[in-house]
Structure 1
Amino acid sequence: MSASKLLKDIPDDIVSKILLPLSVNDLLRCKSVCKSWLSILSDPRFVKSQLAFSNETSDDRSCIAHTYTQGDDSDTTMSLVNLDSGQLVADLDFPFPQDEFPYMPPSLVCLVGSACGIVCVRCSYHSIFDIYLWNPAIKMSKLIPEGNIRGDEQRVVLGFGFNSIADDFKVVKLVSANNIFFAEVYSTHTNAWRNIEPGPSDFPTSENYDAYAKIFDVCVNGFLCTTGTNGMIAFDLDAEVFNCGIKLPVPEFNNFYHSTRIIEYNDSVAAIFWMSKYEDPAKMNLWSLDDEACLTGDGIQPSWTLRQNIDVNWKVDFVQGYFNNGDFLLQEYDNCYLYNPDNGEADLCTPGNEQARYFMNAFFHGQIFRYTKSLCKIAGFTKVHWTWNIDEDDSEDDS
């Protein structure tokens, strides 16, 4: 019996189970085996199953980061980083065509968020402010339409997340003009922006920023969250409504110098406070939100539980996030550390000199996001080809 005949005789559900554990790169190669495999791998049900399998079986230590080459700030790219080893797994190039912009300054690109293998990237050049949705694993992206709201670009806040209820990726844009706040949301289902009315009653004050745009702190369970002047701000990606002024807990070291950020903690919303005056050792408080029902804006009052009270033996400039094994990703000037408060151990995860690449977010906070490779596609995706950085995984087809 020929190999092709044998493949045809295997039921599709068995083929799906065989293919499911393979890496995304191997799955892309398998699309070329035969038409039936191409059909199976292109089926949205398989794409969902593959993503769910990856989320269940892989750790949360793979991240996407904006990086640059030491000594050459103009040599900048997006990279996959393994936090445990501090190794750069791969350079990913960019979501836009190679000749789209005349030059590549390090501040040109801002990572807005990452969900289900899709990365939201904002690209700025003079008066051009483009937003791309990008799947680096399959080297495809989409330039989304320009929004309806205009304003001072220094008073813009962006957020990106996935609405699992409707299987819809969304981009949220807030603009402040003369202390009046406007907002709009882009949906991949409609490929259009919609004005949010009423708009938010508060504006983000998060330290999560880039040279060209601030971004929401985190997206958890369908809610984009960040800090505002009057408490926490939440945006419900399904209902497309804001809830502002959500009362935050008071840190035990209530001090003028402390900083606040909303993060994900064990699959729920949490607030991390840290105080690090001058070069003094840092103190951190971690509080988890008891019930996310308060994020919907139905008048439910929030309650918080203090989870950890942490003393760190060095200055902390920024808290990037928390990982499910108990580590915090902390930033101190141009170094990133994985810190485990249980044993007090801190592992430097910034790539060493031998790799000559450093996290771009050293001075632009918030440019590291968890990332899981997937086969997810969005309507309107086109292939992105870069010729100056060809790696061993550049074997994907356009199917």
Structure 2
Amino acid sequence: MATLSVPHDIVSEILRRLGVKDLLRFKCISKAWCSLIDDPDFAKLHLSHSLKTGTNLSLVPRGLDGGLLSVELDSLKRARRLKHPLESYGDKFADLLGSCNGLLALMSRRDEISLWNPSTRKSRTFPAAAVEISRGRPRRGFVVYGFGYDPISDDYKLLQMAQYYFSNDDSIKSEVKVYSSSSNCWRRIQDFNFYLKYKLVHGVYANNALHFVVSRMRRSEPLVAAFDLGTEEFCLLELPDCLGTGFSLNVRAMGGCISLTVYYYLGVHVWDVHDTEIWVMKEYGVRESWTKLISVKQSEFIWGFNYVLPLAFSNNADKVLMYVDKNKFMWSGNVGRESRNYLINKEAEKEREMAWKLGKRRC
């Protein structure tokens, strides 16, 4: 019986709509299918389709034991443990330096870095770059990273920024190095002339650049700096021109665009947050394209929140999933208008609210 021959283009169109697990199984069907699925061009088509349709999206939170989990965004109920390649070094904990196109950049406590694809389980492990700042005796310092993809050179890059404070808080030294996946080596580039505001927050990848919250002076107003992965140069990103006063910033990536979270606070304590705004830059680099998505206010139901962090859009982009304060997740609906907030773990929040009210009465 004659077999039906399906054109190569049609096979490619069908396969790129499948999940990664199915593709890995279908590599065994024939040499032609295996060659097609392993083709880098097919991988780019499959990735592009997944990003457009919002399929195969997952969150990677940290478990109670310090390990990494994968949680499907559509349900937030199905989670699986990720056994990353750095566990072979005897350390379950791994710092997530960044993610891009399904790849994770991880770092162990022994300063070993791994670029890992959880779907294919392929990885590359290499040591972090040595910090060469040695002159003087710094009071304190820290190192942050950023991971992203440069489509011009077709290269994945990892940014390492070391910053040290000396006797005067306004006196710093910085050192910037870039790891290239194509050359598999580190190299030193221009220094960074701004103050990093957060020592535990790595760069956020969006629009072919890595973004950090910075300031010109140690205690001056917050700004957003962008590191272009193509030119390997830093620049400042213009903020919305209608922000108020007394706020701090957080930068995220939402739907492929850069997102800004603005925390307004009262009094002298920066953790007394009473209002949070989430902005998205619809056209990258254009200040006028900043659009306010949501304004979340402190309420009697969501009492005493000090920290709100947007994570992702829903599949139809009408809601935003947010991390609220201590291990709570919330969908905020009516994007672009007055927000309606839905706590996912409502029972836990009610118990916490009652405990807080009882404690307040006893005082």
TM-score, reference length from structure 1: 0.70
* Aligned match for 2:101, one of 95, 116, 121: 116
For residues 332 and 15 of structure 1, the distance between their equivalents in structure 2, rounded to whole angstroms, comes to 47
Pairing 1:135–2:135 present = no
Q: Judging changes above 3 Å, is the alpha-carbon distance between structure 1 residues 266 and 26 closer, same or farther for their aligned structure 2 residues? A: closer
Kindly tell me: are residues 83 and 280 of structure 1, through their superposed partners in 2, closer, same or farther at Cα, counting changes over 3 Å? farther
Q: Secondary structure at the match of 2:82?
A: strand
Q: Deviations over 1:183-223 (max 9, x none)?
A: 011111111112112x111132137x2xxxx311x211101
- The one-character-per-residue Cα deviations of 1:64-112 (angstroms, maximum 9, x if unpaired) are 22222xxxxxx3322111345331332211122x4312x53xxx31111
**1:233 lines up with 2:218 in the alignment:** no
SS of 2:239 mapped into structure 1:
coil
Amino acid in the other structure paired with 1:89: A
Letter in 2 for 1:26: D
For residues 238-280 of structure 1, the C-alpha deviation after alignment (integer angstroms, 9 at most, x for no partner) is 1111124x4534665412xx33112234533232201356896
Decide whether aligned partners of structure 1 residues 149 and 32 sit closer, same or farther in structure 2, where only a CA change above 3 A counts: same
Measured against aligned partners, the alpha-carbon deviations of 1:10-46 in whole angstroms (never above 9, x if no partner) come to 4432322232222110110011112111111111111
1:307 to 279, 283, 292: 292
Partner letter of residue 16 of structure 1? S
- Partner of residue 183 from structure 1, selected from 169, 173, 176: 176
Q: For the pair shown, which has the larger CA radius of gyration, 1 or 2?
A: 2
Separation (CA, whole Å) in 2 of partners of 1:220 and 1:87? 27
Letter in 1 for 2:158: V
Per the alignment, residue 51 of structure 2 pairs with 55
Residue pairs, 1:32-43, within 5 angstroms: 32-43=28-39
- Contact 2:328 2:343 (8 Å CA) reproduced: no
Q: Secondary structure at the match of 2:61?
A: strand
Letter paired with 2:62 = H
Q: Is 1:146 matched with 2:146?
A: no
Secondary structure of the corresponding residue to residue 211 of structure 2: strand
Aligned to 1:254: 245
Contact preservation (8 Å) 2:226, 2:235: yes
Aligned to 1:193: 186
Give SS of 1:54's match: helix
Structure 1 residue runs without a partner (length 5+): 69-74, 295-301, 353-399
Structure 1 residues 99 and 225 mapped into 2: Cα distance closer, same or farther (>3 Å)?
closer
CA distances 1:344-386 after superposition (whole Å, capped 9, x unpaired):
122326999xxxxxxxxxxxxxxxxxxxxxxxxxxxxxxxxxx
| AA matched with 1:85 | S
1:20 lines up with 2:12 in the alignment: no
State the alpha-carbon separation in 1 of the partners of residues 321 and 42 from structure 2: 33
Q: Is structure 2 residue 261 aligned with structure 1 residue 272? A: yes
Structure 1 residues 222, 80: CA separation in 2 closer, same or farther (over 3 Å shift)? same
Is the contact made by 2:143 and 2:160 (CA closer than 8 Å) also made in structure 1?
yes
Q: 1:304 to 1:20 in 2, by over 3 A?
A: closer
Residues 162, 290 of structure 1: alpha-carbon distance in 2 compared, 3 angstrom cutoff: same
Q: Is the 8 A contact 2:50 2:56 kept in 1?
A: no
Determine whether 1:174 maps to 2:161. Answer: yes
Q: Find the counterpart in structure 1 of residue 207 from structure 2.
A: 221
For 1:156, what is the secondary structure of its paired residue? strand
What is the alpha-carbon distance in structure 2 between the residues aligned to residue 290 and residue 80 of structure 1?
Answer: 28
Is 1:45 the counterpart of 2:41? The answer is yes
Amino acid across the alignment from 1:146: A
| Matched position secondary structure for 2:63 | strand
| 1:158 Cα deviation after fit | 0.5
> Deviations 1:283-331 (Å, cap 9, x if unpaired)?
122344475347xxxxxxx556452461422314141435243314132
1:111 alignment partner, SS class: strand
Which among 275, 283, 286 is matched to residue 283 of structure 1? 275
How many residues align? The count is 317
Does the CA-based 8 Å contact 1:86-1:349 persist in structure 2? Answer: no
The structure, 1 or 2, with the larger RCO (C-alpha pairs under 8 Å, 6+ apart) is: 1
Shift of residue 61 of structure 1?
Answer: 5.5
Q: Is the contact made by 1:88 and 1:351 (CA closer than 8 Å) also made in structure 2?
A: no
**Which structure 2 residues correspond to residues 271-350 of structure 1 after superposition, within 5 A?**
271-275=260-264, 282-289=274-281, 292-293=284-285, 302=287, 305=290, 307-308=292-293, 310-312=295-297, 313=299, 314=302, 315-323=305-313, 324-340=317-333, 342-348=338-344
Counterpart amino acid of residue 32 in structure 1: C
User: What displacement does 1:115 show?
Assistant: 0.9
- Which of 95, 99, 116 does residue 88 from structure 2 map onto? 99
Give me the whole-angstrom Cα distance separating, in 2, the residues matched to 1:99 and 1:60: 27
1:138 Cα offset (Å): 0.9
Partner of 2:358: none
CA RMSD, 1 decimal: 3.0
Gapped regions of structure 2 (runs ≥ 5):
167-171, 217-222, 349-363
CA–CA separation in structure 1 for the residues paired with 2:47 and 2:239 = 33
Whether the 8 Å CA contact 1:338–1:349 is kept in 2: the answer is no
SS of the counterpart of 1:271?
Answer: strand
Question: Quick check: 1:160 aligned with 2:165?
Answer: no
CA distance 1:141–1:350, shift in 2 (3 Å): farther
Corresponding residue number in structure 2 for 1:375? none
Task: Name the amino acid aligned to 1:130.
Answer: E
Residues 1:319 and 1:191: Cα distance change in structure 2 (over 3 Å):
same
Measure, in 1, the Cα distance between the counterparts of 2:162 and 2:187: 14
Alpha carbons of structure 1 residues 166 and 339: separation in structure 2 relative to 1, 3 Å: same
